[in-house]
Structure 1
Amino acid sequence: MNIIKLVILSLCISIGYYALSIVAIGQSAAGNLLWRLNSSEFPLLSHLAQNFIGIGLAALIPAFLVKSYEAARQWIAITIVILGAMLLHGNIHYMPWDPMGIVRFVNNTLFYGDIGAKVLFFYILLLPVLWLLLLKRMARI
C-alpha cells in the first residue's frame, strides 16, 4: 500500500511540475523572464538562460515536496516525477496518459530537436535532481 501512495503522490507532483515547466517555457518564449537582459546579439543564449531560470524555479517545488514527504524513498519518487512530467510533455497533442509520451518526448527533444530542445530535455531531466541534491546537502549543514 505504501508503494501505491508513493506512486500516486509522485504522479500528482509530476502534474504540477509539468504545468510549472510549461508556464516557464511559455514565459521564456515570450521573453518576459529576463526582459532586461534580452540580447539581440545572442538570442539563443538569452532564451536558454530564461529557460534555465524558469524551469529551475519550477523544479524546486517538486524537489522540495519529495524531500519533505518522501524522504526515505526520495530517489524513487523524483524518478517517477520526472518520468511523469516527460510523459505529459510528450503527450501535448495526444491523450494525457498515453505511454508513448515518453518516447515522443525523447524523440522530439533529444534526437530530432534543435539545440534549444536538447538543452530543454536536460533541464527537465536534471534540474529536479540537482535541487534534490542541494536540499539534501543543506539538510546536513
Structure 2
Amino acid sequence: MSYLRLVLLSMCLATCYYSLTITAIGIAAADKIFWWFEWKDNFHFYHIAQNFIGIGLAALIPAYLVHSYESDKRWVSIGIVIFISMLLQGNINYAPWDPLGIVRFFKGTLYYGDIGSVGIFLEILFMPILWLLVFGKRTKYQTSPVHPAQKDI
C-alpha cells in the first residue's frame, strides 16, 4: 500500500509540475516575468533567466510536498515526478500517456532544440532535485530547541 500511495502522489504531483512548468514557459514567452526590465543586448540570456525563475518556482511546490509527505522515499518519488512530467511535456499534441512522449521530449529539447530548449530541459530535470537538496540540508542541520532545565540532564 505504501508504494501505491507513493506512485499516486507522484503522478498527481507530476501533473501539477507539468502544468506549472507549461505556464511558466508560456509566461516567459510572453515577456511577463521581468516586464519592468528590458534586456536588449542578449535576448537569449534574458529568456533563459525568465524560464529559470518560472520553472524554479514551479519546482518548489512538488519538491516541498514530496519532502513533506514522502521523506523516506523522496528520491524515488521525485524521479517519478520528473519522468512523468517529461512524458507529459513530450505528449502536448498527443495522447497524454503515450510512452513515446519521453522520446519526443528528449528529441525536441536536446537533439533538435536550441540553447533555450536545452536550458528548459536542464531546469525541468534539476530544479526539483536542487529544491530537495535544499530542504534536506535545512532539516538536517536544524536542531530541536532544548529547554534550559534539560541541559544538565
Distance 1:103 1:23 in 2: 22
The TM-score, its normalising length taken from structure 1, stands at 0.98
- Alpha-carbon distance, 1:94 to partner: 0.1
**RMSD over aligned Cα atoms:** 0.7
Q: In the comparison of the two structures, how many residue pairs are matched?
A: 141
Q: 2:20 is matched with which residue?
A: 20
Q: TM-score, normalised to structure 2's length?
A: 0.90
Partner residue, 2:144: none
Q: Please say if residues 37 and 46 of structure 1, whose CA atoms lie closer than 8 Å, have aligned partners that are also in contact.
A: no
Larger radius of gyration: 2
Alignment-derived partner of residue 7 in structure 2:
7
1:65 match: 65
Task: Give the structure with the larger helix fraction.
Answer: 1
- Give the match's secondary structure for 2:35: coil
Structure 2: stretches of 5+ with no match in the other structure: 142-153
How far residue 39 of structure 1 moved from its aligned partner, in angstroms, is 0.8
Aligned-residue identity in percent: 52
One-letter identity of the residue aligned with 2:122: F
Match of 1:74 in 2: 74
How far is the alpha carbon of 1:37 from its aligned partner?
A: 2.3
Q: Which residue of 1 aligns with 2:51?
A: 51
Matches within 5 A, 1:100-115: 100-115=100-115
**Structure 1 regions of 5+ residues with no counterpart?**
none
Cα distance, 1:35 vs structure 2? 1.4
Counterpart residue identity of residue 90, structure 1:
G
1:108 Cα offset (Å): 0.5
